[in-house]
Amino acid sequence: MRTLVKSMCCVLLSFMLSATAFATKATTEFPKQMPAKGVSVFIFDPHRTTWAVYDENGNLIKTGHGSGGRNYCSDIHRRCHTPVGTFHVYAQEGRGCKSKIFPVGKGGAPMPYCNYFDGGFAVHGSYEVRSYNASHGCIRVYPTDAKWLQTILHPGSVVIVKPY
């Protein structure tokens, strides 16, 4: 029993340390300040699978882990990277947001708290936020982060996707 308790403590401690290291990594990858845009700004770095949000005054207010489009999607037989560039949120949906396309042929994949920024591409919640880019092109963030993002991002907010 004592060995089991020690093992569980070690696993818990290692998880806490890795989560802390990841949070520190995400925070240090983005500057604390950027030029003010007058609207909130969401930046996603698919190379590092991290994101940051700045307020309308250019202050960093939150960072986190996310994943974007993968190199190749076997169901559509092509690359499905998240579009790179500067976009604007043009529509939002709440907890019930669903894909109109995926899974292929029927749609309906859950995309809670989606913020559309380019065609059908969105920043949205997912319980499958990998440590690598795994989506069909959307930016997946944890559902709690997606819900929070909807309080910060609004139509007109800037979305910047850095190069892969």
pLDDT in tens, 53-99: 999 999 999 999 999 999 999 999 999 999 999 999 999 999 999 99
Domain limits of the chain?
31-161
The pair phi, psi for residue 42, each rounded to 5°, is: -110, 125
Burial of 91 (0-12, 13-18, 19+ CB in 10 A): exposed
Q: What's residue 105's pLDDT?
A: 80
Cβ atoms of 117 and 144 closer than 8 Å: no
**pTM for the whole structure:** 0.82
Is the model's pLDDT at 8 over the cut of 90? no
Is the model's pLDDT at 15 over the cut of 60? no
Q: Which CATH superfamily is domain 31-161 in?
A: L,D-transpeptidase catalytic domain-like (2.40.440.10)
Is the model's pLDDT at 22 over the cut of 50? no
Q: What's residue 14's pLDDT?
A: 36
Q: What's residue 28's pLDDT?
A: 58
CA 45 – CA 136 distance, rounded (Å): 16
pLDDT in tens, 109-148: 999 999 999 999 999 999 999 999 999 999 999 999 999 9
Mean pLDDT over residues 8-37, rounded?
Answer: 57
Is the model's pLDDT at 2 over the cut of 60? no
What one-letter code names the amino acid at 90?
Y
DSSP character string of 2-59: HHHHHHHHHHHHHHHHHHHHHHHHHHHTS-SB----SS-EEEEETTTTEEEEE-TTSB
Torsion of CA 41, 101, 47, 51, to 10 degrees: 30
Q: Fill in the DSSP letter of residue 82.
A: P
pLDDT band at 27 (very low <50, low <70, confident <90, very high): low
CA 54 – CA 144 distance, rounded (Å): 18
